[in-house]
């Protein structure tokens, strides 16, 4: 169920079938749901591929409840005349705020400090306990200066950080220079064949020793084992990850037992206001497309 009242607007105009399960529908269940559907409001956990689209001959529109749309085969949809939409803007501030929250939590060991106090291990004030990394005057690399990357950069400048930007057109040499200079590297690009595993053993080796890696974009950008290796070797100072591949990350994954790692469960857009605004945008997209009009936030038209 979506937060807010957006779905009511859809129900006023169309028959709506809602998947009520806590977990995403199985492939079989999803295929069953879309069989007669003309529109689909999808979550990022729903894989919209040619097989699924072929199982839905009446499908004309897919509105993704997310800004990212790597769960959708957009070329396949375009070839079938299916309009795709997403929900940018609504979640920009929320995601930028979580990015900064993760950065500060990681830089100052806030999660570890909380556990330390609760465990009873705190015996006295100490000049050397929980020494973190200062951010004032530090350099942050923003990899992907789209809406969210730009919002993160603005906030980082507000903290008196220096910001370096790696854009889509910038070369690998540029990336190497940016990584070598940065105390913090924050990822804000979509997951595409070009950005998959952007952060791997090779690029981690380009990073400044002791740097902090933040990922609030897509887990597929980062090789988690390489990050764990770099942390174990003491080359990486810390990692704060809101997104991981796979999600949920298995409890036995070594990244969860590697020190100086802070994780959250893909909650970048997770404020009530952002999620309600996303629902409005997703429903607007669907209503417009089903009326034969251009979506409010079209991806492929
Ligand atoms: C998105 O929108 O792509 C986020 O990952 C979830 O809100």
- Predicted confidence (pLDDT) per residue in 205-234, tens digit: 999 999 999 999 999 999 999 999 999 999
Mean pLDDT in residue range 263-288: 98
Rounded-to-integer distance, Cα 178 and Cα 144, Å: 12
- In the structure, what pLDDT confidence band is assigned to residue 199 with cuts at 50, 70 and 90? very high
- Give the number of the atom of ligand 1 that is nearest the alpha carbon of residue 270: 7
Are the folds of 6-90+271-290 and 92-263 the same?
Answer: yes
Whole-number Å distance, alpha carbon 266 to ligand 1 midpoint, is 8
Close Cβ partners of 204 (under 8 Å, ≥ 6 residues apart): 213, 226, 227, 229, 230, 235, 236
Q: Are 217 and 187 in contact (CB under 8 A)?
A: yes
**pLDDT at position 209, please?**
98
**pLDDT at position 1, please?**
81
- Is pLDDT of 266 > 90? yes
Set 106, 155, 188, 266: catalytic member: 266
Whole-number Å distance, alpha carbon 130 to ligand 1 midpoint, is 33
Q: Tokens 């070598």 map to which residue?
A: 180
**How big, in percent rounded to 5, are the helix, strand and coil portions of the chain?**
40, 15, 45
Whole-number Å distance, alpha carbon 58 to ligand 1 midpoint, is 27
pLDDT digits (tens, 9 = 90+) for 233-253: 999 999 999 999 999 999 999
C-beta of 91 in contact with ligand 1 (< 6 A): yes
**Helix H or strand E encompassing 42:** strand 39-42
- In the structure, what pLDDT confidence band is assigned to residue 278 with cuts at 50, 70 and 90? very high
Mean pLDDT in residue range 127-153: 98
Topology of the domain comprising 6-90+271-290:
Rossmann fold (3.40.50)
Phi-psi region of 121 (alpha: psi -120 to 50; beta: other; left: phi over 0): alpha
Rounded-to-integer distance, Cα 141 and Cα 43, Å: 30
Q: Are 275 and 2 in contact (CB under 8 A)?
A: yes
**pLDDT at position 14, please?**
97
Percentage of residues of the chain with pLDDT beyond 70: 100
- Give the number of the atom of ligand 1 that is nearest the alpha carbon of residue 87: 2
**Helix H or strand E encompassing 267:** none
Task: Give me the residue spans of the domains in the chain.
Answer: 6-90+271-290, 92-263
Active site residue 60: no
Mean pLDDT in residue range 54-78: 98
Ordered alpha helix ranges (H), the chain: 6-13, 27-34, 50-54, 74-79, 92-108, 110-119, 147-158, 172-181, 201-206, 224-232, 272-290
- Is the domain defined by 92-263 classed in CATH 2.120.10.10? no
Angle at 15 between CA 12 and CA 21, to 5 degrees: 110
- Is pLDDT of 136 > 90? yes
Active site residue 247: yes
Mean pLDDT in residue range 88-105: 98
Mean pLDDT in residue range 40-46: 98
* Bond preceding residue 248 cis, omega within 30 of 0: yes
State the average pLDDT for the chain.
97
C-beta of 68 in contact with ligand 1 (< 6 A): yes
- Is pLDDT of 167 > 90? yes
C-beta of 66 in contact with ligand 1 (< 6 A): yes
Whole-number Å distance, alpha carbon 265 to ligand 1 midpoint, is 12
Rounded-to-integer distance, Cα 165 and Cα 160, Å: 16
Residue nearest to atom 4 of ligand 1 (CA): 66
Active site residue 266: yes
Whole-number Å distance, alpha carbon 44 to ligand 1 midpoint, is 7
**pLDDT at position 13, please?**
97
Mean pLDDT in residue range 98-124: 98
Angle at 245 between CA 275 and CA 273, to 5 degrees: 10
**pLDDT at position 241, please?**
99
C-beta of 268 in contact with ligand 1 (< 6 A): yes
ipTM: 0.98
Whole-number Å distance, alpha carbon 241 to ligand 1 midpoint, is 14
- In the structure, what pLDDT confidence band is assigned to residue 174 with cuts at 50, 70 and 90? very high
Q: Which of 43, 269, 280 to mutate to test the pocket of ligand 1 (most atoms within 8 A of CB)?
A: 269
Burial class (CB in 10 A: 0-12, 13-18, 19+), 120: exposed
The model's pTM: 0.97
Q: Which of 42, 91, 94, 276 to mutate to test the pocket of ligand 1 (most atoms within 8 A of CB)?
A: 91
- Is pLDDT of 301 > 90? no
Mean pLDDT in residue range 268-295: 98
Q: Tokens 């400090």 map to which residue?
A: 113
């Amino acid at each position: 169920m979506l937060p807010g009242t957006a779905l009511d607007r859809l129900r006023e105009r169309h028959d709506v079938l809602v998947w009520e399960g806590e977990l995403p529908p199985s492939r079989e269940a999803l295929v069953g749901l879309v069989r007669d559907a003309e529109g689909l409001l999808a979550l990022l956990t729903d894989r919209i591929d040619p097989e699924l689209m072929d199982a839905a001959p009446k499908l004309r529109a897919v509105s993704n409840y997310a800004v990212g749309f790597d769960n959708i085969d957009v070329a396949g949809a375009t070839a079938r005349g299916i309009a795709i939409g997403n929900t940018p803007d609504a979640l920009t501030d929320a995601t930028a705020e979580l990015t900064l929250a993760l950065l500060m939590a990681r830089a100052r060991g806030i999660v570890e400090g909380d556990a330390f106090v609760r465990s009873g291990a705190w015996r006295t004030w100490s000049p050397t306990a929980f020494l973190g990394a200062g951010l004032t005057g530090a350099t942050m690399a923003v990899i992907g200066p789209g809406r969210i990357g730009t919002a993160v950069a603005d906030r980082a400048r507000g903290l008196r950080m220096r910001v370096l930007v790696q854009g889509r057109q910038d070369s690998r040499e540029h990336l190497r220079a940016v990584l070598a200079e940065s105390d913090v590297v924050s990822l804000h690009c979509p997951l595409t064949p070009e950005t998959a595993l952007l952060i791997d053993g090779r690029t981690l080796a380009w990073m400044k020793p002791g740097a902090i890696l933040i990922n609030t974009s897509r887990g597929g950008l980062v090789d988690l084992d390489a990050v764990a290796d770099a942390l174990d070797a003491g080359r990486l100072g810390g990692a704060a990850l809101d997104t991981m591949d796979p999600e949920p990350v298995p409890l036995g994954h070594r990244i969860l037992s590697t020190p100086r790692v802070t994780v959250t469960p893909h909650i970048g857009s997770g404020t009530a206001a952002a999620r309600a605004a996303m629902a409005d945008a997703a429903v607007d997209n669907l209503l417009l497309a089903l009326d034969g009009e251009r979506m409010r936030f079209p991806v492929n038209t």
